[in-house]
Structure 1
Amino acid sequence: MPYDIDKPEEQWRAELTPAEYRVLREAGTERAFTGEYTDTKTTGVYNCRACGAELFRSTEKFESHCGWPSFYDPSDSAAVELIEDRSAGMVRTEVRCARCGSHLGHVFEGEGYPTPTDQRYCINSISLRLAPAED
């Protein structure tokens, strides 16, 4: 899929830290319970760390106790791209930023969380940047 923001990998490497690059551009995963937004309750908007696109809002964030920030819905369904992921010996649904194609995490359904969508967007903190709401 062509993305609105399309940069050569060497430019992404120059703009991102090695840890950000590993997750965002190589579909890595940060260790559970280590991300800066796992337990954050700050009101605001979560943007893609690579391109700044709005992805999620704090109003859709919930406590899943899974070790990563969890959201039950993106702020706009067109903000994310969902792709079948058959890596790691299982079938999952990868979540990418629809604007730049960066890896964000995975979405799971039917886990029984009391949310309006019955979905858990399990997102790496390092893929996000929180813009706190202004008072």
Structure 2
Amino acid sequence: MELNQPFQNEYWNHFEKGIYVDKISGKPLFTSEEKFESDCGWPSFSKALDDDEIIELVDKSFGMVRTEVRSEDANSHLGHVFNDGPTESGGLRYCINSAAVQFIPFDKLEELGYGDLIPHFEK
């Protein structure tokens, strides 16, 4: 899977209402409700839609120690999670590669088989 450059990827500045699914498995991972601008250049979310769909692993690449996030079903690299997100939303920042996800607009959820997620937007 290709990696994205900061500020040069499809979803870093995308705030349309909908969900982000694993590009390989189609499993829903994040919603626009939890997306926020973090100034890092990649899509950032304060939490996953379902923690059971995310695997967290220690990543010691590039001389750093980070927490990698992978999709449960496809075991694909999604990005990393950091502890510098909005405190009012739990303090996490899921920094996700646009190449790893596909956006599904809210008005297409039912049509594409994600209708069960519509109530998530009716808070």
Q: Same fold (TM over 0.5)?
A: yes
Structure 2 segments unaligned to the other structure (5+ residues): 109-123
DSSP-derived class of the 2:107 partner: coil
Matched residue, 1:39: 13
Tell me whether 1:122 sits opposite 2:70 in the alignment: no
Matched residue, 2:27: 53
**Equivalent-residue separation in structure 2 for 1:117 and 1:123 (angstroms):** 17
After superposition, residues 22-101 of structure 1 pair within 5 angstroms as 23=2, 29-101=3-75
Q: Offset at 1:106? A: 0.2
Tell me whether 1:132 sits opposite 2:99 in the alignment: no
The verdict on how the C-alpha distance between 1:85 and 1:67 changes in structure 2, with shifts beyond 3 A counting, is same
DSSP-derived class of the 1:134 partner: helix
After superposition, residues 3-22 of structure 1 pair within 5 angstroms as 21=1
Aligned residue identity for 1:119: L
**Equivalent-residue separation in structure 2 for 1:81 and 1:117 (angstroms):** 18
**Equivalent-residue separation in structure 2 for 1:74 and 1:112 (angstroms):** 13
Matched residue, 1:7: none
CA contact (8 A) 1:95 1:104 kept: yes
Structure 1 segments unaligned to the other structure (5+ residues): 1-20, 24-28
CA contact (8 A) 2:85 2:93 kept: no
**Equivalent-residue separation in structure 2 for 1:34 and 1:49 (angstroms):** 18
CA contact (8 A) 1:104 1:124 kept: yes
CA contact (8 A) 1:94 1:106 kept: yes
**Equivalent-residue separation in structure 2 for 1:52 and 1:113 (angstroms):** 27
The verdict on how the C-alpha distance between 1:89 and 1:98 changes in structure 2, with shifts beyond 3 A counting, is same
Q: Offset at 1:113? A: 3.1
In the superposition, the TM-score normalised over structure 2's length comes to 0.83
In the superposition, the TM-score normalised over structure 1's length comes to 0.76
Aligned residue pairs total 108
